Chain A
Amino acid sequence: MATDAAPAAPDLRGDGVLLTAWRPDDLPAIVGLADDVARHWSRSFAHMHTVDDAARWLAERSGPGRVDWAVRDPATGALVGRTSLHRITTEPASAELGYGVHPEHRRRGVAVAAVATAVSYAFGDLGLLRVELVHDVGNVGSCAVATRSGFALEGVERQALGYPDGRVADQHRHARLATDPPGPVEPSAPPPLEVPELSGAGVRLRAWTADDAAAVLTGLSDHEAVRWSPMPPPPDLAAARAWIAGRAARAASGRAVYWAVEADGAVVGAVALREVNLLDRWATASYLTLPAARGRGLAGRALDLATSYAVSGLGLHRVQLQHAVDNTASCRVAEKAGFALEGIQRGSCLLATGYVDEHLHARVAGA
């Protein structure tokens, strides 16, 4: 493939962003773009810690076949992100697009605005016909940016992405053609969700295993659980095992993350992020504590861990939860985990006793 000498990056105005060429005095701000999230997902940012690292990084941003921009706040000029067109070729007339957003400016549409601006330049000024966006399958935030930016998912390439630390991951290949209609593409099937192990404040969250069937049966059959749940409890161990298998299937299909909650090495409860929507960046949380473990504040701590992961790991903006108005224990858990009460949903839950009103609580990232 022929590689074209790309022009120096021109200033471009986008929707709430200004793209400019990099300047030597950007180096400290470049370091500021790197947090653990950026170092985890970006190969070029894997070792970004110091101004020297930033200088090396910037030196590699020049040369043929690429255009690199600083993404700035148009009002203040502050650096809010980075974007680039690289692997620019004339045959076929295509490029790959990359981007990153400053940790304090994520979830505000910076990436989508920067991508739209760079893509418009690629198709208009450079005359390219195809722009690709590849990302780690696990980087669900990037997948949402691609979908919102109108990049169709064209392939899932297995073990195609090698990181400097030796990790090897599957990658999504998205592309947008110059001839594609404007606007977002239909979201593809959501990527599988991991069930990461999370620890803190004396509780440990982990994936359910078949060995937990007895704990599941106990937890879901308890009087309090049955009283407040719209679902009947599993009748026996086999049904509890089926429940566990069903939770794993929901993670695999990208819909939910269900954790077992442990304290002192024993299962004490459950916590989940359900109805996970990576495009609109919200989910619904639920939780349960086994009868013997109640009154110790475990559910609130587990919910806090799960919600922090929803924001930092999945890039969600809002996590909400509902509980029957009379379920005061659940209300206390929600308040302790920072879920503000937003209102009452009338008749939104069917319990054994009939339809009941529910409290709607939510925690919003950065609020």
Chain B
Amino acid sequence: MTVPTPLTLTDDRLLLRLPQDSDVPEITAACQDATLARWVPVPVPYDTGHGQGFVASRAAAWADEEHGEMTFAVTDAASGRLLAMVGLKAVDPGMREIGYWTAPWARGQGVMTAAARLTCRFGFDVLGLQRIEWWAAVGNDASRRVAEKVGFTMEGTCRARLPHRGERLDGWVGGLVAGELA
């Protein structure tokens, strides 16, 4: 599948685009947050080098249709400020897994729900996906609220499924099938 790059997704408030070098300070700042690190497998401690490595790896990850990930930096369309990160990871043909985090300064404003909607719309309409999957550690209620608002159906709880900082956590799995996007 040929997907136009660079690619942007927008609504009246947000602009989603490929992560770029100028995002590194804000990515690094966001990843200092303990709540984020509790649920998202980012390096701890997180330094500028991690942020640079992440941004530098996105183009190759985008192009790898079998194991890669299409990552969007979620920014405020007016100010350009980085608010969140969202990605679609390749799982199987026709199927990708959504993953996201929201910067501490952007929480509680519906940013991720709107960004996840734009991303899933892109997945179905542009990539032609049949299913988008969502996995989160049991107890990650903030992530689950976003998924449910976007229209994901909670499909199961898998024991000792998710590796996380030396532990194996129980995982929630949810699914969004083409046509269900809320």
Q: Give the interface of A toward B (CB within 8 A).
A: 1, 91-94, 129-130, 152, 154-160, 162, 168, 173, 175, 177
Closest A residue to B160 by beta carbon equals: A130
**Bound complex: CA A143 to CA B175 (Å):** 21
Decide if A158 touches B177 in the complex (CB within 8 Å).
Answer: yes
Decide if A154 touches B157 in the complex (CB within 8 Å).
Answer: yes
Closest B residue to A162 by beta carbon equals: B94
Q: Give the interface of B toward A (CB within 8 A).
A: 92-95, 130-131, 133, 153, 155-163, 168, 173, 175, 177-178
| Given A155-B157, A162-B130, A175-B159, 18 additional A-B pairs, CB 8 A | A1-B163, A94-B161, A129-B160, A130-B168, A155-B156, A155-B158, A155-B173, A156-B155, A157-B131, A157-B173, A158-B153, A159-B131, A159-B177, A160-B95, A162-B93, A168-B130, A173-B158, A177-B160
Interface pairs A-B: 10 shortest CB-CB: A155-B156, A91-B163, A92-B163, A154-B158, A92-B168, A159-B131, A155-B155, A154-B156, A159-B177, A158-B175
Contacts of B131 in A (CB 8 A): 157-160, 168
Contacts of B162 in A (CB 8 A): 92
Contacts of A129 in B (CB 8 A): 160, 168
Contacts of A92 in B (CB 8 A): 160-163, 168
Shortest CB-to-CB span from A112 to chain B, Å, is 22
Closest A residue to B157 by beta carbon equals: A154
Shortest CB-to-CB span from B36 to chain A, Å, is 21
Decide if B175 touches A157 in the complex (CB within 8 Å).
Answer: yes
Shortest CB-to-CB span from A131 to chain B, Å, is 11
**Bound complex: CA A360 to CA B175 (Å):** 47
Shortest CB-to-CB span from B28 to chain A, Å, is 25
Contacts of B155 in A (CB 8 A): 155-158
Decide if A162 touches B161 in the complex (CB within 8 Å).
Answer: no
**Bound complex: CA A4 to CA B159 (Å):** 21
**Bound complex: CA A73 to CA B175 (Å):** 41
Closest B residue to A89 by beta carbon equals: B163
Task: Give the dominant DSSP class at A's interface.
Answer: strand
Shortest CB-to-CB span from A64 to chain B, Å, is 14
Shortest CB-to-CB span from B127 to chain A, Å, is 14
Which one, B133, B159, B161, B163, contacts A157 given CB within 8 A? B133
Jot down 16 A-B pairs with beta carbons below 8 A, ordered by A. A92-B160, A92-B168, A94-B161, A129-B160, A152-B159, A154-B157, A154-B159, A156-B156, A158-B155, A158-B175, A159-B131, A162-B92, A173-B173, A175-B159, A177-B159, A177-B160
Contacts of A1 in B (CB 8 A): 163
Decide if B173 touches A159 in the complex (CB within 8 Å).
Answer: no
Contacts of A160 in B (CB 8 A): 92, 95, 131, 133, 175
**Bound complex: CA A93 to CA B160 (Å):** 9
Contacts of B177 in A (CB 8 A): 158-159
**Bound complex: CA A152 to CA B156 (Å):** 11
Contacts of B153 in A (CB 8 A): 158
**Bound complex: CA A26 to CA B46 (Å):** 53
Which one, A130, A156, A168, contacts B161 given CB within 8 A? A130
Closest A residue to B154 by beta carbon equals: A155
**Bound complex: CA A159 to CA B176 (Å):** 9
**Bound complex: CA A130 to CA B163 (Å):** 12
**Bound complex: CA A154 to CA B161 (Å):** 11
Contacts of B130 in A (CB 8 A): 159, 162, 168
**Bound complex: CA A91 to CA B169 (Å):** 11
Closest B residue to A155 by beta carbon equals: B156
**Bound complex: CA A129 to CA B170 (Å):** 13
Contacts of B158 in A (CB 8 A): 154-155, 173, 175
Chain A CB count within 10 A is highest, among B93, B95, B133, B155, for B155
**Bound complex: CA A281 to CA B102 (Å):** 51
Decide if B93 touches A157 in the complex (CB within 8 Å).
Answer: no
**Bound complex: CA A173 to CA B82 (Å):** 37
Contacts of B168 in A (CB 8 A): 92-93, 129-130
